[in-house]
Amino acid sequence: LMVGTAKSAKMGVLIKNGEVLEKVTDIDTVVFDKTGTITIGKPKVTDIVGDSKRVLTVATSLEESSEHPLATAIVKKAKEEKIAPVKVDNFAAIEGKGVKANFNDHTALVGSNKLFANSNISREIQDEAEQLQNEAKTVIYVGLDQQVIGLIAIQDVPKPSAKAAIAELKKRGLKTVMLTGDNKNVAQAIGKQVGIDQIIAGVLPTDKADNIKKLQKAGNKVAFVGDGINDAPALSTADVGIAMGAGTDIAIESGGIVLVQNDLMGVVKALDISKKTFNRIKLNLFWTLIYNLIGIPIAAGLFAGIGLQLSPELAGLAMAFSSVSVLTSSLLLNKAKIAGTSTQTA
């Protein structure tokens, strides 16, 4: 355990306890959050449909105090366009849908199309939204008094390491799943780019843990990789929670494994070193058992009648050799080959 956790720490993988090592050996499914985990987490506004100044003014006025990556992208774009936010009243966040507030005596709404479920959205707006989503862009609807006045398209690209990491997991026979609250079209486009096996889209933050439970009830042993506040329940529910080190404190606290670097190859490293460490523990226990099953009866004199016995000195030396062999076996973990590292010695 000491050697395995020390080696993993040098690779930027923090394993919190031995229980995690045991559970990792059974993992057959790895579930990823999308924003900030598979993607870089720094989305940018790419398109604005409608009166650009009006749409951005309403959106940035409602989103200026939010820490969500999409909100940050909108506020940044407004600053670039030198558009100042307007003070709003009765601000309210609607979980999984968006936000609303009083804006110049109007009810302003900014969020997904779910926020406008009771509104009539024009065919033109719907077509524009669908086209943008097919380009792997997240579409934010902006409205006043339930009337959609425009769209803001935001795009976040996959991390450079995402495709390679998922390919490595597949080589190990693991199923990969992406769990996201984003639109199905956007999720599928991102998933296709990185090679994800299964996509579960349109998931509310409160439902992430429930989806993990569904996978577990289907007989899967699940590792979940996430970075946000709303990922904490899923990280705790999964058999193994893997938190991105660049994520929120609550996500890091909820994960059994923490990736110091914001790199998805760390997931492969974490699973590999955990499995190799636990396998080394089992190997040590196996040979220790064999060694003692043979050595103790001889040292006790049970075979003295046939001339097979050990003096106390030799028995003590044999016991010392047993400890040295276990330590040597454990230290060989430092030479273990781990994907994504420079160590190549077997």
Amino acid at 298: I
Cβ-count burial 303-332 (b if 16+ within 10 Å, e if not): eeeeeeebeeeebeebeeeeeeebeebbee
- 8 A C-beta contact, residue 123 and residue 148: no
The two tokens of residue 104 are 């110049």
pLDDT at residue 339 in the model: 61
* Distance between CA atoms of residues 127 and 87, nearest Å: 32
Active-site pick, 33, 156, 227, 239: 33
pLDDT at residue 247 in the model: 64
- 8 A C-beta contact, residue 78 and residue 60: yes
Tell me the CATH architecture of domain 44-155.
3-Layer(aba) Sandwich (3.40)
Beta strands 106-111 and 138-144, pairing class: antiparallel
pLDDT at residue 346 in the model: 31
* Distance between CA atoms of residues 292 and 325, nearest Å: 13
Q: Is 51 a catalytic residue?
A: no
CA atoms within 13 A on the CB side of 322: 18
pLDDT at residue 335 in the model: 76
Q: Which of 11, 24, 14 is nearest to 341 (CA)?
A: 11
CATH match of 16-40+158-269 with 3.30.1050.10: no
CA atoms within 13 A on the CB side of 143: 24
- What's the pTM? 0.75
DSSP at 70:
H
The two tokens of residue 250 are 């609550």
pLDDT at residue 205 in the model: 78
Determine the Cα angle at 140 with ends 247 and 136, to 5°: 75
pLDDT at residue 9 in the model: 84
Domain ranges in the chain are 16-40+158-269, 44-155
* Distance between CA atoms of residues 227 and 69, nearest Å: 12
DSSP string, 135-183: TT-EEEEEEETTEEEEEEEEE-PBPTTHHHHHHHHHHTT-EEEEE-SS-
* Distance between CA atoms of residues 310 and 317, nearest Å: 10
For 117, other C-beta atoms within 10 Å of its C-beta total 10
pLDDT at residue 101 in the model: 92
Name residues of the chain where pLDDT drops below 50. 342-346
